Homo-oligomer: A and B are copies of this chain.
Amino acid sequence: MAKNKKMVDAITSMDEDFAKWYTDICMKAELVSYTSVKGCMVIRPYGYAIWENIQKNLDSRFKALGHENVCMPMFIPESLLQKEKDHVEGFAPEVAWVTHGGSEKLEDRLCVRPTSETLFCEHYAEIVHSYRDLPKLYNQWVSVVRWEKTTRPFLRSREFLWQEGHTIHETAQEAIDETERMLNVYADFCEKDLAMPVVKGRKTDSDKFAGAEATYAIEALMHDGKALQAGTSHYFGDGFAKAFNIQFTSRENKLEYPHQTSWGVTTRLIGAIIMTHGDDNGLVLPPAVAPVQAVIIPIQQFKEGVLDKANEIKEKLAALGIRVKVDDRDQSPGWKFAEHEMRGVPIRIEIGPKDIESNQCVVATRFNGEKQFIALDGEFEGKIKELLDKTIPEGMFAKAAENRRNKTYICKTTDEIIKALEEKGDGFVKAMWCGEEACEDKVKELTGVGSRCMPFEQEEISDVCVCCGKPAKKMVLWGKAY
């Protein structure tokens, strides 16, 4: 261990400087690289492979529910963006403007999409005429641009990758159901596949998406006690339909406005993975999205039979669909251990001449650093698969859930909030709220934590607002946000 420590000493410890630790991982695990385009980044092969695995997983979940992928233009004419009043107010200040095409100055300048509600609405106005045309369950995988002032890899950048689902329905209830259904898809993906516990809830009005009637979100707690919004799902009512004049002939043969939703997750999820699971040795990846799930490191690889055995094990695991590699580079095992730890590979398999003699190998699991001997018999591949599919994700989830439990404070007064944060550090605060925006603001001012969401799972902490003492309407989850 001492040896490994030394090899990765270029990473700042997370306790020393969490922000620097985060950036170090992004760079040393070769997830991203900076460019001369301010606020934008290169997503490097290892980082992009994580995103591809996220995409593949979510895309098949979406398609199983009947969603179809489309592709809208990346540009939105200013006149189109302006059609929904709240929406343009929310987004116009942070968009990039295209003013010239070649040498020609554009009459109606174009913004690079910050989100595509307006384009989907324009298209729906063209193709939706009857209840028979509904619902439309569309999604697209694209990048969007928001002109952020300060940026950080994955968490906040001027361009980021995401999926944006946009659906349109006959009735309000159907649209509300879709909004909740997709939030549940996100939550299930985060908890099962990313091993990251999330709180599902509704945003307060001050925190709603520009143009939405209701915004739902999943909130995760990072290792440093800060909150990260990991996905959102919006219910629009018929506001956009009215602004864009989308109407359909109903079953009762009347002209009606349809109801819409949108929902999205972004490359931010990679930031969430880093800050939920990472440690001082680097990245720790959940097996479901790890580009390499198991790495086999031959010990004394020059000795006869070692590499052959390593490749034999590899073939057996690959046959089960496991993403596995043999690292036979001309480097010491210790150097390789450190590198694959840095890159968060879930399982390391060590195989050397002595292991081969006793027909076994050493299997180390990245998330808890544990090592065990496993016999190279007929049950070997099954055991590795069990580790990847069950033991590791469940263990990672339990570890993250425990961190969250330790950092969740139930408070009845703002003083209690201040005290908890001071004594135990940043975390989630559960406290009651009267529903007034003034109290929301005041809590933030006094304690530093803002409202993250009103969790679907409400608890009865007290019957009065944590701030004003008037009757409480909702338990709110508070926290400092990324």
Q: Residues of A with Cβ closer than 8 Å to B?
A: 33, 35-37, 40-45, 48-49, 51-52, 68-77, 79-80, 93-104, 110, 112, 119, 122-123, 126-127, 138, 142-143, 145, 147, 158-159, 161
Contact = CB atoms under 8 A, between A and B. Distances in A.
Contacts of A80: 36
Contact of A123 (B42, B48, B70, B138): B42
Ranked nearest first, the 6 interchain pairs of A and B with the lowest CB-CB distance are A40-B73, A45-B68, A101-B147, A43-B71, A97-B100, A37-B73
25 contacts: A33-B123, A33-B126, A35-B72, A35-B119, A36-B77, A36-B80, A37-B73, A37-B76, A37-B119, A42-B72, A44-B70, A48-B70, A48-B71, A71-B143, A73-B159, A74-B74, A93-B102, A93-B103, A96-B98, A96-B100, A96-B110, A98-B98, A98-B99, A99-B99, A142-B143
A145 to B, nearest CB: 7
Nearest to A113: B37
A144 to B, nearest CB: 10
B94 A112 contact: no
A33 B122 CA distance: 11
Q: How many copies does the complex hold?
A: 2
Contacts of A45: 68-70, 138
A141 to B, nearest CB: 9
Contacts of A76: 37
Interface centre among A42, A100, A103 (most CB of B within 10 A): A42
A36 to B, nearest CB: 6
Given A49-B69, A69-B48, A98-B98, A74 B42 contact: no
Contacts of A40: 73-75
Contact of A94 (B52, B74, B102, B159): B102
A42 B73 contact: yes
A320 B96 CA distance: 48
A97 B145 CA distance: 14
A408 to B, nearest CB: 35
Contacts of A37: 73, 75-77, 110, 119
Given A75-B40, A102-B147, A69 B96 contact: no
Given A42-B123, A45-B138, A52-B69, 14 more contacts: A36-B79, A42-B71, A43-B71, A45-B69, A48-B68, A49-B69, A71-B143, A74-B143, A74-B145, A74-B159, A93-B102, A95-B102, A97-B101, A104-B147
Contacts of A44: 70
Contacts of A70: 42-45, 48
A35 B108 CA distance: 14
A143 to B, nearest CB: 6
Nearest to A92: B102
B97 A41 contact: no
Nearest to A46: B68
A321 to B, nearest CB: 15
Contacts of A143: 71, 74, 142
Contacts of A158: 101
A156 to B, nearest CB: 14
A43 B74 CA distance: 12
Contacts of A127: 33
Nearest to A52: B69
A158 B110 CA distance: 13
A473 to B, nearest CB: 36
Contacts of A104: 147
Given A70-B42, A102-B94, A75 B159 contact: yes
A102 to B, nearest CB: 4
A41 B75 CA distance: 10
Nearest to A45: B68
B112 A98 contact: yes
Contacts of A33: 123, 126-127
Interface centre among A43, A98, A112, A143 (most CB of B within 10 A): A98
Contacts of A101: 95-97, 147, 158
Nearest to A104: B147
Contacts of A110: 37, 96
Contacts of A73: 35, 37, 40-42, 159
Nearest to A158: B101
Contacts of A161: 71
A49 B35 contact: no
A36 B102 CA distance: 19
